Structure 1
Amino acid sequence: MIPVSISVLTICGIEELPAQSKRSVSHVLSVLDPELPEIATFADYGEHHRTTLRFHDIIDPADGRVMPEREHVESILKFGEELRASKEAREDGHLLVHCHMGISRSTAAMVTLMSQVEPELSDDELFARLRTIRPQAWPNSVMIAFADDLLGRKGRLIEALRGHYRHQLVAQPKYREWMPSLGRGREVDMAL
């Protein structure tokens, strides 16, 4: 059998992690709040490689909060490179990316990884694929802006994110009120 890099992609929140433990997850990217304790659930997973990043799901600076930074997205891309380099050592793989709720940081990380692995896909195709993996996806715009720059997308990823937000405001109407209440009104404005 020809080694496959990753054949299963999963995005979830912390509460969903126990249900994933029996799904042969080979790689985990955890994006967590800095103050959150270690997640015990991973002790129930089989052998896997895990990378953890810690910053808050915010788009504007706030006292006592850690903004997503360029270095965080560089770490996501480094994780992707390590994943690609390790493909010869396995026949298959299951990548799980999670954050607190599986809506924003994890979906931004996943679309960044997909952009890295499949640069020939259009930016709109990337977000359409993201919605098939996680229908409630609302990627963090700060992370996407860093990814756009680091991947040389020249603003195309950001423009596709606007279209994704427009789609989500129809598909997930509660986001029109929910996102501004979380300090993410600027992202709703991007869609309009």
Structure 2
Amino acid sequence: MPLIETPFLTTVCGLEELAGHSSREVSHVLSILDPDEPEPEAFGAYGEHARLEMRFHDIIEETAGHVAPTPDDVARMLAFGRDSEAEAGSLRHLLVHCHMGISRSTAMMALLLAQSQTVLSADTIMQHILAMRDKAWPNLRILEYGEAILGRDGEFTRAAGAIYRIQLERRPEIRNFFINAGRGREIETADRV
């Protein structure tokens, strides 16, 4: 059960789950896709909705042959959230998805909630994200850019470390996966908690 109440419904999911949300009256979609991923067909059944499509890989370091998220990407996604809330009464249900609904989407939902619910601590928001998505592993690069834009330097990085630690305690075998995938800074963040 989510830990905080929001003035609109929130959903985080992966590509495979999109079709299952077509009847949930989603009004706004933040779609985070790999650069070469085809546009999901599921949105054809969503009815009228506002959607921002972003394309970058789920990486936290510059990597040859991959597109990393940039500060401009994060600023654009935050602007989408801000503009969506400013449209009086139109934001009823915000869905944020990426490939698996684990990393890019959970990081962005945390930042969108921080922008919307400014009184909430980063720890509260990150625990809410974990309650929404029990496999959450928020992308550290996106969080770093977002917390800088929102003037909350270091807050979400530290809070994410606690989430990473929980996931590593649940599944210790993923430690080497993330290190080998070039995401060792996330493991280091967990180890500092």
Normalised TM-score (structure 1): 0.90
What residue number does 1:175 align with? 174
For 1:140-151, what aligned pairs fall within 5 Å after superposition?
140-151=139-150
Match of 1:44? 45
CA contact (8 A) 2:9 2:93 kept: yes
Amino acid at match of 2:154: G
Q: Distance in 1 between matches of 2:20 and 2:128?
A: 23
Cα displacement (A) at 1:136: 0.9
2:108 equivalent in structure 1: 109
Tell me if the contact between 1:136 and 1:172 (Cα under 8 Å) persists in the aligned partners.
Answer: no
The answer to whether the 8 A contact 1:6-1:94 is kept is no
Aligned residues: 186
Task: Give me the whole-angstrom Cα distance separating, in 1, the residues matched to 2:89 and 2:120.
Answer: 26
1:5-20 aligned at under 5 Å gives the runs 6-20=7-21
Amino acid at match of 1:37: P
Of 30-39 and 98-107, deviating more is: 30-39
Pairing 1:165–2:180 present: no
Q: 1:132 deviation in Å?
A: 1.3
| 1:175 positional shift | 2.9
**Inter-CA distance 174–79: structure 2 relative to 1 (3 Å threshold):** farther
Identity of aligned residues (%): 44
Using the alignment, how far apart are the partners of 2:184 and 2:139 within structure 1? 12
Structure 2: how far apart are the matches of 1:173 and 1:18? 32
- d(CA) in 2 for partners of 1:76 and 1:139? 15
Partner of 2:131: 132
CA distance in 2, matches of 1:30, 1:124: 25
Instruction: Determine if contact 2:158/2:189 at 8 Å carries over to the other structure.
Output: no
How far 1:18 sits from its partner (Å)? 0.9
Structure 2: which 5+ residue stretches go unaligned? 1-5
Partners of 1:150 and 1:137 in 2: CA distance: 22
Aligned counterparts of 1:181 and 1:40: Cα–Cα separation in 2: 32
Any gaps of 5 or more consecutive residues in structure 1? none
Question: TM-score normalised to the size of structure 2?
Answer: 0.90
CA change 1:182–1:6 in 2 (3 A) is farther
Letter of the structure 2 residue corresponding to residue 182 of structure 1? A
Q: For residues 82 and 33 of structure 2, what CA distance do their matches in structure 1 show? A: 21
Q: Is the 8 A contact 1:103 1:138 kept in 2?
A: yes
> In the alignment, what sits opposite 1:80?
81
The letter for the 2-side match of 1:26 is S
